[in-house]
Structure 1
Amino acid sequence: MTRMIARARRRNWPQSSAGAFRPCNGCARWVACATLVALSLGAGGAYTLAQRAPYGERLYRQGLEAYQRKEYEKAIECFSQSLKAGTAQQTPETLYFARGRAYQQLGEQLQDAALACRNGNEQVVLNSEGARQFSSAWNDYDQILRTVSQFKAEHLTGKVYACLGYCYQQRNLDNEGGWAYRQALEAGFQSAELYNNLGCLHVAQGKREQAQACFRQAIELNPSLQAAYHNRAMLSLQIELARRNEAAPLQRLTAADVVRVFLQPAQPSDGLTVDIEKAISVGPVSADLYYNAAHLYVLAGTTKSYQVDRALNAWE
């Protein structure tokens, strides 16, 4: 599987940017779970345990090192062996959580490789394998929630629900994902990334006010989170397009009415571009970002011409 990922990236990198040109009103800039919940080696840094440390503990530390190197298959193997050995200093829920995170990251790698792949058969295999990794991840998270007491897993509960929500989101299970994110919030785990992802779920469900509230909260918690600005900008685009589509029916106008429309100053529309400009300034920039910015600038710049066009149509 590692060779397939590398081959897909190597062969198709020049064409991979084509996937960035999604519909301009799409709002699915989730924050990857690597950012949502971090898994680190801790203050000790690299593997420095003495060889007389318990076998299971050495495996756990080796798994963390493999995870840091993005060798997720190796990390999964180490965490699994550590669970079987049963001699790690870590609690079972910590091992399940670490392995679940590795499954998730491997799923991300496979999804990215599928986007870069032009071979249809390989793309199907990569997507299928990626989905399997996400399923394995949420099985580990579910294991924590089902078998470990609330007291023992209290420090992990919010993180587990946050990661579980992300897995559901990746499988397009919006209701389940929203439930898991809300459970994470109730458990006291709040982060800008979580609010951003929950906002995306609300957009997918047509809950625009809730989505706006989530993106606003995400930005308050982390003013440098580009995805939240980008998503809120695209939500503004959706709302503006819907407003125009639902405009009141045209009434019959006289020539004088049309002239008055021409003479009226254009309404300020800077609000449509504030968030997308902030997303660009925060960086990094991408074809997707500029593509969506172009749509917003066109829409913001045609407010007056839109009013004139409606007036002319009503006069005819």
Structure 2
Amino acid sequence: MKPKSVGIRDVAKHVGVSTASISRTLNNPESVSPELRMRIDAAIAELGYIPDAAARALSSRRTRTIGAIIPTVDNAMFARGIEALQSYLSLQGYLLLLSTSGYDPETEARQAQNMVSRGIDGLILRGDMHTDALRRLLASQRIPFVNVGVYHPDKPYASVGGNNEAAAYRACRYLIELGHTRIGMVAAISSNNDRATARVSGVRRALAEHGLSLKPEWYIEVPYHLDDARQGARSLLSSPREGWPTAVVCGNDVIAYGVLLEAERHGLDVPHDLSVMGFDDLEWSRHLRPSLTTMHVPTDEVWTRAGEYLVKSLSGRAAALHHEVDVSLVVRESTSRPRPAGGRKAR
């Protein structure tokens, strides 16, 4: 026999409140007391009530769905951020709809249009390299959005992230303070990636302030993949040894892993022959040997705060338009003072 369906009236009767209270709790949990919310959640679980999402959307004009478009899922940093975001949204009664863009603004715009057609309430985007068509779409549909991974207090739309230029400047300055004057960079592809571009700018600024420059042969851009990073490091180390840099700033930790592997393949002693600096502070970075010196980005905080901004905005509460997170230097084993001139040796 088909089991009897449980309706909102059954839940209201069980808790001893009106159906309006149940509806208010489901559509706007922040509007009721935590004690009532707990009682209603317990009743829903006990009775097996499943709210009608379509009916709720019609009555509230909200689907309680947040969209997020990231460049790729093949990146541990994005995976961790999305996990933190989903955990937060779930507690707020929101569903996360995820898509990828492949670092292509046109693809991002198409995916956003698809999400809007499915009734998302808000959207989280990576960086600030968006098409004009996407910005017009979100404005015309009055869909709040927030850029993550960047901090742009001068822009009229929300951002949550670190100052990539300042963080990369700090990373390079640390190497200079150790005594390095021959510094190279294996960066991420800068096309359609404002985070990568800002990090390169930070490195160049630190070098310029100390009368140094980033030589063309010491600057390489690679995709965010280990194989490509190794190939980039191979190119960097293809010249005679006396022409190599003594330190390398990497666009992220994955690229740094590739540089470390290739340095080992060339028989270099890291950090004494070559210091390697990462960016992001992924979990593996502290377990490597040598462990990776890097810039720590509080990924969980970035994505959770982005979710908080949208949830507050959608509920009519005040939310700070911009939030800067602290990107800090984590010194480990992959950096040290350079060897004295002529002192390099293979292991």
Pair in the same fold by TM > 0.5:
no
After TM superposition, the score normalised by the length of structure 1 is 0.28
Q: Counting strand residues as a fraction of each chain, which structure ranks higher?
A: 2
Q: Counting helix residues as a fraction of each chain, which structure ranks higher?
A: 1
